[in-house]
Each structure stands twice: as C-alpha cells, then as structure tokens.
Amino acid sequence: MTIPAVIAFGDSIVDNGNNNNLTTLVKCNFPPYGTDFIHQIPTGRFSNGKTPADLIAEKLGIKELLPAYLDPTLLDNDLPTGVTFASGSSGYDPQTSQIASVIPMMQQLELFKEYLRKIKGLVGEERSSFILSNSLFLVVAGSDDLANTYFTFRLREAQYDINSYTDLMLQSATDFIKELYKLGARKIAVFNVPPIGCLPSQRTLGGGGLLRVCAEPYNQAALLYNTKLSNMISSIGTRFSLDQKARVVYIDVYTQLFDIIMNPTKYGLEVVDRGCCGTGTIEMIILCNKYSSTCSNHSSYLFWDSFHPTEKGYKILVDELIQTYLPRFF
C-alpha cells in the first residue's frame, strides 16, 4: 500500500500557512495559534498544533508536517511527498473567497498545475506520473460557503434559497473534482460539511441568544448539501469505473464530529460548546490574539478558537476517518 504523497485543497481546516502573505484578515500566524506546535511557533495553521493535513501525512508514514505550497521556505525536496494549496476562508462559491480576499478553489488548481511542472522537472515524467496517480488528494471545503457567505453575511440570500444555493456549491464541487481528475489525480477524498450549527461561533450567532444551542437551520443546510454531494460522488464513481485506479471517496465528517459533540466524554473531552481562546464564543483569527487568554487544559477542549478544532480534536477525527475510509482507496 504505497501512498507517496498527500496533496490538499480547500479551506482553513487544511491550510498550513498559505494565507500568511496574502492581504487578508483571515490569517493566524501569531500567538496563541501554534501554542502546542513544534517550538510553539505560530505557522498559519488554524489550531493550537497540527491540522488534519499534517496528521494524515504523518499517519500514512509520509512525513510529519505537510507544508503550505506558498511557504517561502519550502524546499524542492518537500514537493514529491506533497503540499497543501488550501486557503483559509475559501469555498466552492467564488464569492466566499472574494469576501475574505483569499485563494479561490479554481486558483488553487492553477497553483497545482505549477506544482506539477516543478515535480516533472525534479523527478522526471515517469516518477511524477506515479506520484500523481498514487497520492491521496484531500478536498475540504463548503463550511465557509454556508457558515459565512450564506448565513452570517447573507450575501446570497436574495438570489438563492438554501436548496438552490447548495446546488450552486455542488456544481462548483463537481467541476473541481472533474478538473482534478483530468489533471491526473486518482485517489480523491472529498470531505462533506461538518455540523456547522454546532461550531462555537455559530452557536453564538444563530443558536438562540444566551442558550447557545446548535443552530439547527445551519445543520439542516449542511445535511442537505451533504446528501447532494454523496449522490454526486456515487455518480462520478460510476462514470470513472472503467479507470481501475480511480477512487473518489465521500468522507463523512458530519456524523463523526456530531457524535463527538454529543458524547464528549466517550472521546476524553470535556468542553465542546466553546473554544479554548478568549471567551471561546466568538474569537477566531484576529480576535484570537496575543491579548487573549486561553484555557488551562487544551486537551479537554474540542475547539481551539470559535471555529477550528484543537489538535486533540483533529486527532480524534483523523484516527476515526483513516480507519473507516483508507481501505476504500485500495
């Protein structure tokens, strides 16, 4: 079972520092982010430590950290084992990345094309073709479209009801996966949207005032999109069935994260309704900064800020997901 590289696209969940040098507010290359990272360095990872992109590469025995493609210190010998092109606050809806001034999904593919040219120059045509067809590709997007563009900023509400908006997201996701396949990717893991209504910030904004319960309309929207995504991936799988190497796998993060939120003690967690940073109810990115206090026991919290999990939370998720889905790629 040889997976030579992990290559990631999407949003902040797998952005390991691509936003650092962009002119955007969506960055986290400052404390307290990175508090539990190597040498306590804030690298632009939206967590206290590693992200799922790192943890998956590590679990597969490829390397300990998956570097950001736009990291100015990136070395040529890092390229053959994979990088991440993800950009925090990106999404399938082009408007999502525009609001935040971050890298759109389709532009991430342009960076990937540049990466492919570099790889060919480094290892030659035959080896680069092997890397491409055997690597694990992670596609993690959709949360920012629903949580930010649709529900928080309400930028699409006048044009689309939630059914037609999730259709727009789906069309863009379909185009992305087809283009990735066309470029040579054969093992593609497509993550669904988690229960965004239960993220601490969305509880605060849409969860009934002081009660801060999970915002049910947000979760229902995620489930609607996820059903469509799952159906689309089944249909694409059928279309690619003549290609024996092709595996496009739907990764159900929603069910797993919801179970952790509903049964925290089962997973060794205590606090799931607020983040560790500041009050934990709204602080994220620039609001979670060096002036923010943090909780004393990071490993008892599911969330680091009000939107992103702790390294402990990510480890629980990644362990479960690898066990469930990795065999499907072979």
Question: Residues 11, 12, 71, 93: which is the catalytic one?
Answer: 12
Nearest to 176 by CA among 75, 102, 236, 106: 106
Q: Is residue 58 part of a domain?
A: yes
Nearest-10 Cα torsion for 180, 90, 45, 315: -70
pLDDT in tens, 71-103: 999 999 999 999 999 999 999 999 999 999 999
Q: What is the pLDDT of residues 166-213, one digit of tens each?
A: 999 999 999 999 999 999 999 999 999 999 999 999 999 987 667 899
* Containing structural domain, residue 103: 6-194+222-251+323-329
pLDDT digits (tens, 9 = 90+) for 42-78: 999 999 999 999 999 999 999 999 999 999 999 999 9
> Does residue 180 lie within any of the structural domains?
yes
Give tens-digit pLDDT for 120-164. 999 999 999 999 999 999 999 999 999 999 998 888 988 999 999
Residue 282 and residue 276: Cα distance in Å, rounded?
11
Q: 179: closest CA among 130, 235, 110?
A: 110
The C-alpha atoms of residue 10 and residue 143 are separated, in whole angstroms, by 10
Which of these is catalytic: 15, 54, 71, 305? Answer: 305
For residue 243, indicate whether it is catalytic. no
Q: How many structural domains compose the chain?
A: 1
In a domain, 25, yes or no: yes
Is 215 a member of any domain?
no
Q: Which amino acid is at 9?
A: F
Query: Is residue 247 in a domain?
Result: yes
Domain CATH number, residue 75 = 3.40.50
Look at residues 33, 41, 38, 29 and name the one whose alpha carbon lies nearest to residue 58: 38
Helix ranges (H only) for 60-183 are 94-100, 105-134, 143-144, 162-182
> What average pLDDT is seen over the chain?
96
Concerning whether 305 is annotated as a catalytic residue, the answer is yes
Q: Is residue 187 part of a domain?
A: yes
Question: Is position 308 annotated as part of the catalytic site?
Answer: yes
Q: Which of 11, 145, 172, 308 is catalytic?
A: 308
- Helix 216-239 crosses helix 162-182 at what angle (to 10 degrees)? 40
Predicted TM-score (pTM) of the model is 0.97
Residues 230-254 have a mean pLDDT of: 90
